[in-house]
Chains A and B, each alone.
Chain A
Amino acid sequence: QLQLQESGPGLVKPSETLSLTCTVSGGSISSSSYYWGWIRQPPGKGLEWIGSIYYSGSTYYNPSLKSRVTISVDTSKNQFSLKLSSVTAADTAVYYCARQGSDYAVSRHWGQGTLVTVSS
Protein backbone atom coordinates (compact mmCIF):
# COMPACT_ATOMS: atom_id res chain seq x y z
CA GLN A 1 0.00 0.00 0.00
CA LEU A 2 1.41 3.34 -1.04
CA GLN A 3 2.41 5.64 1.80
CA LEU A 4 3.87 9.15 1.77
CA GLN A 5 5.52 10.77 4.78
CA GLU A 6 6.62 14.37 5.10
CA SER A 7 9.61 15.27 7.27
CA GLY A 8 11.49 18.42 8.14
CA PRO A 9 11.73 21.25 10.66
CA GLY A 10 8.49 22.43 12.20
CA LEU A 11 9.81 25.92 12.85
CA VAL A 12 11.57 28.20 10.38
CA LYS A 13 12.72 31.77 10.92
CA PRO A 14 11.51 34.59 8.67
CA SER A 15 13.66 35.17 5.57
CA GLU A 16 15.14 31.66 5.82
CA THR A 17 14.48 28.63 3.61
CA LEU A 18 11.86 26.01 4.41
CA SER A 19 13.01 22.49 3.53
CA LEU A 20 10.82 19.39 3.54
CA THR A 21 11.23 15.85 2.26
CA CYS A 22 8.57 13.35 1.27
CA THR A 23 9.49 9.69 1.56
CA VAL A 24 7.46 7.30 -0.57
CA SER A 25 7.00 3.67 0.44
CA GLY A 26 4.98 0.87 -1.08
CA GLY A 27 5.59 2.12 -4.61
CA SER A 28 8.29 3.49 -6.86
CA ILE A 29 8.77 7.20 -7.36
CA SER A 30 10.24 6.31 -10.77
CA SER A 31 6.89 5.25 -12.19
CA SER A 32 6.04 7.03 -15.43
CA SER A 33 2.38 7.09 -14.41
CA TYR A 34 2.63 9.76 -11.74
CA TYR A 35 3.72 13.20 -10.73
CA TRP A 36 4.70 13.97 -7.15
CA GLY A 37 3.37 17.17 -5.68
CA TRP A 38 3.42 19.54 -2.75
CA ILE A 39 0.26 21.23 -1.49
CA ARG A 40 -0.12 23.51 1.52
CA GLN A 41 -2.94 24.64 3.78
CA PRO A 42 -2.62 27.65 6.11
CA PRO A 43 -4.35 27.07 9.45
CA GLY A 44 -8.11 27.25 9.02
CA LYS A 45 -7.83 28.02 5.31
CA GLY A 46 -7.99 26.28 1.95
CA LEU A 47 -5.63 24.21 -0.17
CA GLU A 48 -2.94 25.61 -2.48
CA TRP A 49 -0.91 23.61 -4.99
CA ILE A 50 2.77 24.55 -4.68
CA GLY A 51 4.35 22.46 -7.41
CA SER A 52 5.03 19.00 -8.78
CA ILE A 53 7.88 16.93 -10.15
CA TYR A 54 8.14 13.99 -12.52
CA TYR A 55 10.64 11.19 -11.85
CA SER A 56 12.75 12.50 -14.73
CA GLY A 57 13.20 15.76 -12.85
CA SER A 58 10.77 17.90 -14.85
CA THR A 59 9.21 20.45 -12.54
CA TYR A 60 5.98 22.45 -12.56
CA TYR A 61 5.39 25.34 -10.16
CA ASN A 62 2.50 27.52 -9.07
CA PRO A 63 3.22 30.86 -10.80
CA SER A 64 2.50 32.72 -7.56
CA LEU A 65 5.31 30.87 -5.77
CA LYS A 66 7.63 30.04 -8.66
CA SER A 67 10.34 32.54 -7.78
CA ARG A 68 10.81 30.99 -4.33
CA VAL A 69 10.20 27.27 -4.91
CA THR A 70 12.51 24.43 -5.82
CA ILE A 71 11.34 20.82 -5.98
CA SER A 72 13.79 17.99 -6.51
CA VAL A 73 13.67 14.21 -6.67
CA ASP A 74 16.04 11.50 -5.43
CA THR A 75 14.98 8.27 -7.09
CA SER A 76 17.66 6.26 -5.25
CA LYS A 77 16.01 7.14 -1.94
CA ASN A 78 12.43 7.18 -3.28
CA GLN A 79 12.10 10.74 -2.02
CA PHE A 80 11.25 14.16 -3.33
CA SER A 81 11.89 17.47 -1.64
CA LEU A 82 10.60 21.02 -1.36
CA LYS A 83 12.57 24.18 -0.73
CA LEU A 84 10.77 27.49 -0.24
CA SER A 85 13.02 30.49 0.20
CA SER A 86 12.56 33.86 1.89
CA VAL A 87 9.68 32.66 4.02
CA THR A 88 7.34 34.94 5.93
CA ALA A 89 4.54 34.34 8.41
CA ALA A 90 2.22 33.92 5.41
CA ASP A 91 4.03 30.67 4.61
CA THR A 92 2.92 29.11 7.91
CA ALA A 93 0.86 26.10 6.88
CA VAL A 94 0.39 22.37 6.92
CA TYR A 95 2.46 21.07 4.01
CA TYR A 96 1.27 17.92 2.28
CA CYS A 97 2.98 15.75 -0.28
CA ALA A 98 0.78 13.82 -2.67
CA ARG A 99 0.89 11.59 -5.73
CA GLN A 100 -0.83 12.88 -8.86
CA GLY A 101 -1.81 10.89 -11.91
CA SER A 102 0.06 11.75 -15.07
CA ASP A 103 -3.00 11.20 -17.27
CA TYR A 104 -5.23 13.23 -15.02
CA ALA A 105 -3.78 15.06 -12.06
CA VAL A 106 -6.08 14.17 -9.17
CA SER A 107 -4.46 13.02 -5.92
CA ARG A 108 -5.59 9.73 -4.42
CA HIS A 109 -2.65 9.37 -2.08
CA TRP A 110 -1.51 12.02 0.39
CA GLY A 111 0.89 12.24 3.29
CA GLN A 112 -0.55 13.11 6.68
CA GLY A 113 0.89 16.60 6.45
CA THR A 114 3.39 18.50 8.56
CA LEU A 115 2.86 21.88 10.17
CA VAL A 116 5.57 24.41 9.46
CA THR A 117 5.48 27.61 11.46
CA VAL A 118 7.43 30.67 10.38
CA SER A 119 8.41 32.65 13.44
CA SER A 120 11.46 34.20 15.01
Chain B
Amino acid sequence: DIVMTQSPDSLAVSLGERATINCKSSQSVLYSSNNKNYLAWYQQKPGQPPKLLIYWASTRESGVPDRFSGSGSGTDFTLTISSLQAEDVAVYYCQQYYSTPPGYTFGQGTKLEIK
Protein backbone atom coordinates (compact mmCIF):
# COMPACT_ATOMS: atom_id res chain seq x y z
CA ASP B 1 0.00 0.00 0.00
CA ILE B 2 1.14 3.52 -0.74
CA VAL B 3 1.16 5.67 2.39
CA MET B 4 0.72 9.41 1.98
CA THR B 5 2.23 11.68 4.64
CA GLN B 6 1.50 15.40 4.77
CA SER B 7 3.37 18.14 6.58
CA PRO B 8 2.67 20.11 8.59
CA ASP B 9 -0.47 18.82 10.31
CA SER B 10 -1.60 22.40 10.80
CA LEU B 11 -0.55 25.76 9.49
CA ALA B 12 -1.40 29.38 10.33
CA VAL B 13 -0.69 32.00 7.67
CA SER B 14 -1.49 35.71 7.49
CA LEU B 15 -3.95 36.96 4.90
CA GLY B 16 -2.16 37.71 1.64
CA GLU B 17 0.82 35.56 2.52
CA ARG B 18 1.94 32.30 0.93
CA ALA B 19 0.86 28.93 2.31
CA THR B 20 2.78 25.76 1.47
CA ILE B 21 1.68 22.21 2.23
CA ASN B 22 3.85 19.19 1.56
CA CYS B 23 2.93 15.62 0.71
CA LYS B 24 5.23 12.62 0.52
CA SER B 25 4.31 9.21 -0.85
CA SER B 26 5.95 6.00 0.37
CA GLN B 27 6.66 5.03 -3.24
CA SER B 28 6.68 6.85 -6.53
CA VAL B 29 3.32 7.76 -8.06
CA LEU B 30 4.93 8.69 -11.38
CA TYR B 31 3.71 6.37 -14.12
CA SER B 32 6.59 5.97 -16.55
CA SER B 33 4.49 5.11 -19.60
CA ASN B 34 2.77 8.50 -19.69
CA ASN B 35 5.11 10.51 -17.43
CA LYS B 36 2.22 11.57 -15.23
CA ASN B 37 2.12 11.82 -11.46
CA TYR B 38 -1.05 10.25 -10.09
CA LEU B 39 -1.42 12.80 -7.32
CA ALA B 40 -4.35 15.09 -6.50
CA TRP B 41 -5.15 17.76 -3.94
CA TYR B 42 -8.53 18.38 -2.31
CA GLN B 43 -9.92 21.12 -0.11
CA GLN B 44 -12.48 20.32 2.57
CA LYS B 45 -14.42 22.94 4.50
CA PRO B 46 -16.45 22.06 7.63
CA GLY B 47 -19.62 20.17 6.91
CA GLN B 48 -18.79 19.81 3.21
CA PRO B 49 -17.42 17.01 1.04
CA PRO B 50 -13.91 17.35 -0.37
CA LYS B 51 -13.47 19.55 -3.43
CA LEU B 52 -10.97 18.62 -6.12
CA LEU B 53 -8.40 21.38 -6.62
CA ILE B 54 -5.53 19.82 -8.58
CA TYR B 55 -4.86 16.54 -10.37
CA TRP B 56 -1.85 15.12 -12.23
CA ALA B 57 0.07 16.92 -9.45
CA SER B 58 -0.12 20.30 -11.15
CA THR B 59 -3.27 20.57 -13.31
CA ARG B 60 -5.73 22.98 -11.79
CA GLU B 61 -9.36 21.89 -11.85
CA SER B 62 -11.72 24.13 -13.81
CA GLY B 63 -12.95 27.04 -11.71
CA VAL B 64 -10.18 26.81 -9.10
CA PRO B 65 -8.49 30.18 -8.52
CA ASP B 66 -5.01 30.49 -9.95
CA ARG B 67 -3.56 31.29 -6.53
CA PHE B 68 -3.65 27.50 -6.01
CA SER B 69 -0.79 25.59 -7.63
CA GLY B 70 0.69 22.14 -7.34
CA SER B 71 4.21 20.95 -7.99
CA GLY B 72 6.49 17.97 -7.48
CA SER B 73 7.17 14.59 -8.98
CA GLY B 74 7.81 11.02 -7.94
CA THR B 75 7.36 10.97 -4.18
CA ASP B 76 7.45 14.63 -3.11
CA PHE B 77 4.70 17.13 -3.83
CA THR B 78 3.65 20.61 -2.76
CA LEU B 79 0.43 22.58 -2.76
CA THR B 80 0.98 26.33 -2.72
CA ILE B 81 -1.55 29.08 -2.13
CA SER B 82 0.20 32.20 -3.34
CA SER B 83 -1.86 34.78 -1.46
CA LEU B 84 -4.07 33.42 1.29
CA GLN B 85 -7.69 34.53 1.30
CA ALA B 86 -10.14 34.13 4.16
CA GLU B 87 -12.16 31.61 2.17
CA ASP B 88 -9.14 29.31 1.90
CA VAL B 89 -9.45 28.27 5.55
CA ALA B 90 -9.98 24.52 5.26
CA VAL B 91 -8.35 21.13 5.59
CA TYR B 92 -6.29 20.10 2.58
CA TYR B 93 -5.67 16.50 1.55
CA CYS B 94 -3.32 14.97 -0.95
CA GLN B 95 -4.46 11.78 -2.66
CA GLN B 96 -2.67 9.16 -4.74
CA TYR B 97 -4.59 7.33 -7.44
CA TYR B 98 -1.64 5.34 -8.79
CA SER B 99 -2.00 2.02 -7.05
CA THR B 100 -4.84 -0.44 -7.66
CA PRO B 101 -7.29 1.94 -9.35
CA PRO B 102 -10.03 2.88 -8.78
CA GLY B 103 -8.86 2.72 -5.20
CA TYR B 104 -7.04 5.68 -3.78
CA THR B 105 -5.46 6.76 -0.50
CA PHE B 106 -5.29 10.15 1.17
CA GLY B 107 -2.81 11.91 3.36
CA GLN B 108 -3.87 12.65 6.92
CA GLY B 109 -4.79 16.24 6.08
CA THR B 110 -3.37 19.68 6.84
CA LYS B 111 -5.52 22.23 8.64
CA LEU B 112 -4.96 25.75 7.31
CA GLU B 113 -5.95 28.72 9.45
CA ILE B 114 -5.52 32.47 9.44
CA LYS B 115 -2.77 33.90 11.65
**Residue with the greatest number of chain A CB neighbours at <10 A, chosen from B40, B48, B49, B102:** B102
Q: Is the CB of A60 within 8 A of B100?
A: yes
The number of residue pairs between A and B whose CB atoms lie closer than 8 Å in the complex comes to 57
Q: Is B80 an interface residue (CB 8 A)?
A: no
Interface size on B, residues (CB 8 A): 23
Contact assessment for A106 and B52 in the assembled complex, using a CB-CB cutoff below 8 Å: yes
Do residues B106 and A48 form an inter-chain contact, with CB atoms below 8 A? yes
B105 interface residue per 8 A CB criterion: yes
In the bound complex, CA of A47 to CA of B49 (Å): 10
A98 CA / B107 CA spacing, docked (Å): 18
A49 to chain B: closest CB distance in Å?
5
The residue in B1, B40, B104, B107 that gathers the most chain A C-beta atoms within 10 A of its C-beta is B104
B38 within 8 A of A: yes
- A49–B100 CA distance with the chains assembled, in angstroms: 12
Do A60 and B106 touch across chains, with their CB atoms under 8 A apart? Answer: no
- For the complex with contacts A35-B102, A104-B55, 19 further pairs of A-B residues with Cβ separation under 8 Å are A37-B102, A46-B108, A46-B109, A47-B50, A47-B93, A48-B106, A51-B103, A60-B101, A60-B102, A102-B102, A104-B97, A104-B101, A105-B102, A105-B103, A106-B40, A106-B55, A110-B49, A110-B50, A112-B48
By Cβ-Cβ distance, the 3 closest A-B pairs, closest first, are A110-B49, A105-B102, A35-B102
B residues contacting A by CB (< 8 A) are 1, 38, 40, 48-50, 52, 55-56, 61, 93, 95, 97, 100-109
